[in-house]
Structure 1
Amino acid sequence: MKQFIAIAFLAIIFAGCKQDHKKNFIINGSVANTQAKKVYLEEVPVASMQPVIVDSADILTGKFTLKTEALEDAVYNIRLDALEFPVASVINDAPEVDLSITMSTRNPQMPEKFEVKNSPASQAMKDFMVAFNDKMILLVNNTHKLDSLRTTKVADSTLAPLMQTIKQDGVALREYALGEIKKGINPALSMFELGYYQSTANGQGLGLEPLDNKQVVALIDDVTKKFPNHIAVAGLKLNLQQEIKAAEDRTWVGKQAPDFTLPDVSGKPVALNSFRGQYVLVDFWASWCRPCRAENPNVVAVFNKYKTKGFTVLGVSLDDDANAWKNAIQNDKLAWTQVSDLKKWESPVVPMYKFGGIPFNVLIDPQGKIIAEGLRGMDLENKLTAIFP
């Protein structure tokens, strides 16, 4: 469900929609510092990730004109030939828009800037992207700095101020995005901003908390109330509600954790139920799994920070080599209980928890109920910070 909300703002096609209310949309454009000979107009309905070319034009003495018809407001990308990514984006909230693009002389693949006139929604979208990306640069730089410090194995007290800064910056960026989405000056703009935030927040280790299912539906519901005649948003709301209902049947969150018993490194049987009364992260990993090993320092950090507050970790390895498993535990300094039946993917815990890849984890509350799954990087830190403020 998490990935659906991040990227599944797909175009909703309704059979039988009347086409006689389409409106013309014209872009009068200019582009500087490019050798491109052709320009393409891509429609991206309701900020979907599925652009469709709706027009093209030759670039003559740096100028071009693009035209299309649209039933309702949507996002449009402008892409130059031979370039993979768009060089500008606009919204058809006006019948005619003036657009000027200046390509970078240092990097011909990237625009240095673009200016749009006669389109308030297009200008607002541009302002949102600029402000959002500026804030993200600070967040990414600090996250990379934190990752580097962790590899040097510095004390938690040294990391704490930077972790707090990342958390505060993440909260501020989230609030900024929510504020812009709720302004609601244009349905296509609101949906673009929502998709932009969710796809970024679902990136691992960026310190951003994705909006949950109920928040996303509430935001889309607000848009449908402000713009009741926008067909795609109304269809998206219905489609999303159906997807959420289906996802609720698949997710572990809110369900009791299936119990299991596996031997620890000394061969002693350990039952998951023996951890009742604590918050326990059941961490499925293996010594041969590189992403797992890369994630281990993050788990070590939160274990050391919260182990005296009622939090622990239960490592469940999908190894089949006892020596490799025990060496990895020692080398990665995994100081919590580790269990494995050394059956790799044949272990009964795999179909029991229905995961198809590792690392994978579930966070269980003191009553044995799963309250989160798939927590990695700053997502794990943020979740525990919310539990242990």
Structure 2
Amino acid sequence: MRKIIMMLAVAAAFTSCQEDKGYTISGEASKMEDGKMVYVSEIDEKTNRPNRVDSTAIKDGHFELDLQDPETSNLSFLEFEGTQGNVIFISENEEIKFKIYKDSLRASEITGGKENKILQEYLGHLKQVNEKVMKGRTAMRTAFQQKDSTKLTSLQETEKEIIDNDKVFKKKIVQENPDSFVSIMVISDMLRMKSYPVNEIKEMYDGLSEEVKNTAIGKQIGENLEKENKVAVGSKAPNFTAPTPEGDELALKDVMGKVTVIDFWAAWCKPCRVENPNLVKTYNKYKDDGLSIIGVSLDRPGQKDRWIKAIKDDGLPWHQVSNLEFWQDPVAQLYGIKAIPAAFVLDEEGTIVARDLRGADLDKKIGELLNKG
């Protein structure tokens, strides 16, 4: 009797192992030479860069790997020796199959796994959007050259509709797949492209499952959203203190006006220097009505002289501060600055009412806030 029970237990275990193959990948690569290596990479949590985790060789036009079951899904890549590009997929505890097209890796087919099904749907959508936009812009150039304003306007409206539909599609993916790793990738794209206001993107993020939010990219996006939300339109502008050219400490709260502009710039930044005359004009126009500006320079360490010279050369009469720490400037870090020029417009209460406006748009907004528009 004990022998029968033992045999049944072994058989059950064997059957279970046969049914649960876990995370395996296999593929057909018929046009690739035997012996060429196939590399599997995943995004490393610490470096945020692809890290090779395994490899195999192509044999008889096929490849196969049995990989360690991932604790959580992750963005992964297949690379092929001697071939440019890669194939993007999601690691998950499923049998994932590939049909590789050597001449167009991005067109390769992937089957297996819920995550990869959603990923393929998303990548296919992005490809269609890109093709439509590029085709439309080619037509726009032709219409512009032919001075066909009616056609040009129609094409611009069509592009806007394409982009609006793209935003709706992305939001739908996130809302319908709160437990999918792909949803955090979509939110990352939304944040990068500024598809929606930060507070709306954060609401979508908050609706995701804890498992998705606790992935490496999920944690990173969560941190970025927290930072962005602190300086989003409608939020109270974080106070800061930094050194002036004279070496004194100056705080934002000490220079507030009816309208205040925080202007991030640098002496080395050509677009900033081009924008400065517009800002000078706006300042002179509204300074007596309550406009205050504080410039925050991202100049490099040891280049205080260049910063001061730029202030003088461009005739910038408003308050200036800088820690001279380049992109590591604490104020720039606090406001999530990744590109300059960048401007934040505050009302009398210190609430951010607009950001990233330049030239005529900035002038118009300030005029409206001061009832001068």
Whether 1:348 and 2:339 are equivalent positions in the alignment is no
Deviation string, structure 1 residues 46-95 (Cα, Å, up to 9, x no partner): 9x94433222100123210022122344443212235574224244252x
Q: How many angstroms apart in 1 are the aligned matches of 2:272 and 2:152?
A: 22
Assess if the C-alpha contact under 8 Å between 1:40 and 1:55 holds in 2. Answer: yes
Matching residue of 1:43: 42
Shift of 1:116: 2.1
Q: How many angstroms apart in 2 are the aligned matches of 1:45 and 1:76?
A: 10
Secondary structure at the residue paired with 1:254?
Answer: coil
Matching residue of 2:26: 28
Matching residue of 1:359: 341
Whether 1:320 and 2:296 are equivalent positions in the alignment is no
Secondary structure at the residue paired with 1:209?
Answer: coil
**Letter matched to residue 347 of structure 2:** D
Alpha-carbon spacing, 1:193–1:358, altered in 2? closer, same or farther (3 Å) = closer
Assess if the C-alpha contact under 8 Å between 1:76 and 1:90 holds in 2. Answer: yes
**Structure with greater Cα Rg:** 2
Assess if the C-alpha contact under 8 Å between 2:74 and 2:91 holds in 1. Answer: yes
Q: How many angstroms apart in 2 are the aligned matches of 1:118 and 1:241?
A: 29
Shift of 1:127: 1.8
Shift of 1:131: 0.6
Give the stretch that moved more between structures: 62-71 or 350-359.
350-359
Match of 1:209 among 183, 195, 198: 195
Secondary structure at the residue paired with 2:107?
Answer: strand
Secondary structure at the residue paired with 1:255?
Answer: coil
Alpha-carbon spacing, 1:232–1:282, altered in 2? closer, same or farther (3 Å) = closer
Secondary structure at the residue paired with 1:54?
Answer: strand
Alpha-carbon spacing, 1:287–1:370, altered in 2? closer, same or farther (3 Å) = same
Match of 1:118 among 89, 112, 130: 112
Assess if the C-alpha contact under 8 Å between 2:294 and 2:320 holds in 1. Answer: no
Whether 1:255 and 2:237 are equivalent positions in the alignment is yes
Q: How many angstroms apart in 1 are the aligned matches of 2:268 and 2:151?
A: 31
Deviation string, structure 1 residues 93-144 (Cα, Å, up to 9, x no partner): 52x222101022xxxxx52521123334312211211212332455578789
Assess if the C-alpha contact under 8 Å between 2:184 and 2:212 holds in 1. Answer: no
Assess if the C-alpha contact under 8 Å between 1:79 and 1:88 holds in 2. Answer: no
**Letter matched to residue 180 of structure 2:** P
Q: How many angstroms apart in 2 are the aligned matches of 1:321 and 1:43?
A: 45
Whether 1:174 and 2:167 are equivalent positions in the alignment is yes
Q: How many angstroms apart in 2 are the aligned matches of 1:45 and 1:294?
A: 40
Ranked by relative contact order (alpha carbons within 8 Å, sequence separation 6 or more), the top structure is: 1
Alpha-carbon spacing, 1:91–1:376, altered in 2? closer, same or farther (3 Å) = farther
Matching residue of 2:207: 222
**Letter matched to residue 272 of structure 2:** C
Alpha-carbon spacing, 1:237–1:74, altered in 2? closer, same or farther (3 Å) = closer
Alpha-carbon spacing, 1:372–1:114, altered in 2? closer, same or farther (3 Å) = same
**Letter matched to residue 349 of structure 1:** V
Assess if the C-alpha contact under 8 Å between 1:282 and 1:363 holds in 2. Answer: yes
Shift of 1:366: 6.0
Alpha-carbon spacing, 1:234–1:128, altered in 2? closer, same or farther (3 Å) = closer
Whether 1:371 and 2:353 are equivalent positions in the alignment is yes
**Letter matched to residue 42 of structure 2:** E
**Letter matched to residue 68 of structure 1:** L
**Letter matched to residue 134 of structure 1:** Q
Matching residue of 1:56: 55
Secondary structure at the residue paired with 2:214?
Answer: helix
Matching residue of 1:267: none
Deviation string, structure 1 residues 267-286 (Cα, Å, up to 9, x no partner): xxxx976664xxx7554547
Secondary structure at the residue paired with 1:55?
Answer: strand
Alpha-carbon spacing, 1:220–1:249, altered in 2? closer, same or farther (3 Å) = closer
Alpha-carbon spacing, 1:375–1:198, altered in 2? closer, same or farther (3 Å) = same
**Letter matched to residue 109 of structure 2:** E
Q: How many angstroms apart in 2 are the aligned matches of 1:87 and 1:76?
A: 8
**Letter matched to residue 128 of structure 2:** D
Assess if the C-alpha contact under 8 Å between 1:30 and 1:99 holds in 2. Answer: yes
Assess if the C-alpha contact under 8 Å between 2:43 and 2:76 holds in 1. Answer: yes
How many residues were matched structurally? Answer: 299
Secondary structure at the residue paired with 1:180?
Answer: helix
5+ residue gaps, structure 2: 1-19, 246-253, 298-306, 324-328
Q: How many angstroms apart in 1 are the aligned matches of 2:51 and 2:266?
A: 42
Give the stretch that moved more between structures: 347-356 or 77-86.
347-356
Assess if the C-alpha contact under 8 Å between 2:181 and 2:212 holds in 1. Answer: no
Matching residue of 2:270: 290
**Letter matched to residue 222 of structure 1:** G
Alpha-carbon spacing, 1:291–1:111, altered in 2? closer, same or farther (3 Å) = farther
Give the stretch that moved more between structures: 316-325 or 67-76.
316-325
